[in-house]
Amino acid sequence: MALHLPALVTVLALLLFVYSFLAVGKARVTYGVAAPATTGHAAFEVVYRVQMNTLEQLVLFLPALWLFSHYVSPLWAGLLGVVWLAGRVLYAVSYVKNPKNRGPGFIISFIASITLLLGSAVGMVMRMVAGV
Amino acid sequence: MALHLPALVTVLALLLFVYSFLAVGKARVTYGVAAPATTGHAAFEVVYRVQMNTLEQLVLFLPALWLFSHYVSPLWAGLLGVVWLAGRVLYAVSYVKNPKNRGPGFIISFIASITLLLGSAVGMVMRMVAGV
Amino acid sequence: MALHLPALVTVLALLLFVYSFLAVGKARVTYGVAAPATTGHAAFEVVYRVQMNTLEQLVLFLPALWLFSHYVSPLWAGLLGVVWLAGRVLYAVSYVKNPKNRGPGFIISFIASITLLLGSAVGMVMRMVAGV
């Protein structure tokens, strides 16, 4: 039962990523940036960077979420996952308004990821020491 | 036994990704685009975009494949995975011929991914409701 | 107990990736490349390419590591993971000094990844044949 929470967060995180790359496809048309180019219009580049940053952070977040679920707590993994999701939404919305405003959303989601990752490491070392 | 099918699809998807980034290394030499540049020759940029898109779609596909295997069916996950693989091969082959032809392959693999993702969500909610 | 080793390697690989993207943030300030741009200064582009290559290779490595742990041996997965980590550190350090020196580190980590991937495939086929 408890593992449904990180699974649900995983689905929502992937849907956010789907939204970010569909937005790039739409921005290609809106700003006239034909593939394979990824530059040529500042507004397009912002949408593209939001997608790439979401991708990068997803690759960090998902393994950290599941390691924490296994080694510490699936409930707390899920709650930290909700913080991550909120940070990523704030990041995307702020970045599109003005690239200089992308900091807070990034930092919120990064703190969630690093807590998941370092928490996993602590849980793992405690099990190793206990020999289980 | 049944989980071998999504595992096999995972190996094939990763081999496709390996092929896509080895092609970029080869295209650097063929078109004279020295690292760290990723632009400078249209034919190189196409090969590079195929790799990046394969990467992006892999990050969506693999977690969706395994969630669906767990929550719905590893057999159907594997079959949808084969559809995804076919879409990605079509995407790569078509994109290199002409970037305007990349649509159908992308859409086939995207439908496979989104079916895996939304199917997982439905399976998950049904288990939550059933309390298991 | 044995699965702690690939889990530990996963944490270290993710910390290396965190380092690679924090280095990009720092390089944005050092070389005056404001978001959303990812070009404009050769030294920035090198740091950015190290991050992107670490991302790409991580997406190959992590699933291969865990498939190998499951199908072959978590101990050998962990040891090949240490080789991968050493290759990635060598890659990053060498690339920043001179992009032409990035080969050996890439090849070491790629051999580790492909061994994990093909080893998993062999282990999987052997189980399929044995019907387990």
Q: Which residues of B touch A37 (CB under 8 A)?
A: 45
Average pLDDT over residues B90-105: 94
CB contact B63 to A (< 8 Å): yes
Q: Which residues of B touch A8 (CB under 8 A)?
A: 121, 124
pLDDT score of A54: 97
Q: What are the pLDDT digits (tens) for A80-118?
A: 999 999 999 999 999 999 999 999 999 999 999 999 999
Buried b (16+ CB within 10 A) or exposed e, C32-51: ebeebbbeebeebbbbbbbb
Eight-class DSSP state of C132: -
How distant is the Cα of C78 from the closest Cα of chain B, in angstroms?
19
What ipTM did this prediction achieve? Answer: 0.95
Q: Which of C124, C125, C129 to mutate to test the interface with B (most CBs of B within 10 A)?
A: C124
- Please tell me which of the candidates A56, A60, A124 has its beta carbon nearest to residue C8: A124
Would the pLDDT of C1 be above 70?
no
Eight-class DSSP state of A36: T
Taking the C-alpha atoms of residue B6 and residue B76, their distance in angstroms, rounded to an integer, is 9
Q: What are the pLDDT digits (tens) for C64-118?
A: 999 999 999 999 999 999 999 999 999 999 999 999 999 999 999 999 999 999 9
- Residue C17 sits at the vertex; the CA angle it makes with C16 and C18, to the nearest 5 degrees, is 90
Q: Which residues of B touch C40 (CB under 8 A)?
A: none
User: pTM for the full model?
Assistant: 0.96
